[in-house]
Amino acid sequence: MSDYNFAYLDEQTKRMIRRAILKGIAIPGYQVPFASREMPMPYGWGTGGVQVTAACLTPEDTLKVIDQGADDTTNAVSIRKFFEKTAEIAVTEKTGDATVIQTRHRIPEEPLGEGQILVYQVPIPEPLRFLEPRETETRKMHALEEYGLMHVKLYEDIARHGHIATSYAYPVKVEGRYVMDPSPIPKFDNPKMEMAAIQLFGAGREQRIYAVPPYTKVVSLDFEDHPFDPSKADHPCDLCGAEHTYLDEVIIDDAGGRMFVCSDTDYCAGRQAKGHRGRLSPTEEAAQ
């Protein structure tokens, strides 16, 4: 027997986290306080998400971990290895094969289904924090549905820039009640949050867990004369030709040459494997 418990956390801690997750599911978008534990990794590495994942994993699960859409960053690899070691679960880079996906900053392009759980790593769970630093006050604002200041902030964007400049962590209203921070995903991903999978959010340093059940209404805040725009770059992916995905800009040479590629590496590789090609794809002969 190993010297740590299944999925690292002790059973009492898991029970406490599990209770918080269930209350989160029962009250979509509401931030449930929980007693975050020290994890063997720094806070910036998503200890909130790691604790939620640890509380959810069963021995039969297959885990995928992504960071900005990629499975192979240091952060993603470390978390995946951590759970391979402590929970002895299967891991994958294929979105469709995963039962639990822990993510930082992206929602996979491939639609998620029933039987899947998406766990977000959250740095700042409170969408009202930049308007009001005091926890006691933001809690009151949520209790009274006092979200006017939030709209004022977004409207100031419009006054200054002609459009809403917020492009990450764009606030949403869940099931017509709580305003929620979707974590620093691009607003391009916001419309995907109405999905068939369970979405769980963990903030380690701030000790909050919240959730969006499947098929729950998630509406990005906007105005009648300035409706929400998920904004998509006007290029296709240079590797797979996709015109419907979120792209990363990559510098490819010293002369400042650039290419645009899907940030979701598994999705892009899947399309290339099916024969889709982009502007900078290797030619058929070179690929063989």
192 CB-near residues (< 8 Å, 6+ apart): 107, 111
Rounded-to-integer distance, Cα 11 and Cα 246, Å? 39
Choose, by CB under 5 A, the member of 207, 262, 265, 270 that binds Zn ion. Answer: 262
- The reply on whether position 144 binds another protein by CB under 8 A is yes
Q: Beta strand pairing status for 117-121 and 172-174?
A: unpaired
Choose, by CB under 5 A, the member of 16, 107, 112, 237 that binds Zn ion. Answer: 237
Length of the chain: 288
Catalytic residue among 48, 204, 268, 270: 268
Residues 177-196 vs another protein: string with x where CB under 8 A? xx-----------------x
Q: Which of these ranges, 21-29, 140-148, 177-185, 255-263, lies near Zn ion under the rule CB under 5 A?
A: 255-263
Range 87-91 contact pairs with CB under 8 angstroms and sequence separation of 24 or more: 87/6, 87/7, 87/8, 87/54, 87/57, 87/59, 87/61, 88/59, 89/57, 89/59, 89/60, 89/61, 89/62, 89/63, 90/61, 90/62, 90/63, 91/62, 91/63, 91/64, 91/65
Q: Can you read off the two tokens belonging to residue 29?
A: 């978008």
Q: Which of these ranges, 13-21, 42-50, 105-113, 157-165, lies near another protein under the rule CB under 8 A?
A: 13-21
In 3D space, the residue among 158, 162, 184, 161 whose CA is nearest the CA of residue 171 turns out to be 184
Choose, by CB under 8 A, the member of 39, 45, 46, 57 that binds another protein. Answer: 57
Residue type, 116: Q
Is 162 designated active site?
A: no
Confirm if 270 and 264 have CB atoms less than 8 A apart: no
Is 56 designated active site?
A: no
Q: Which of these ranges, 3-11, 40-48, 125-133, 158-166, lies near another protein under the rule CB under 8 A?
A: 3-11
| Residues from 80 through 139 that contact another protein (CB under 8 A) | 114, 117, 139
Rounded least distance, CB 279 to Zn ion, Å: 11
Binding site for another protein (CB under 8 A): 5-7, 11-12, 14-16, 18-28, 30, 32-33, 55-60, 114, 117, 139-140, 142-144, 175, 177-178, 196, 198, 211, 213-217
Residues with catalytic function = 29, 237, 240, 262, 268
Binding site for Zn ion (CB under 5 A): 237, 239-240, 242, 262, 268
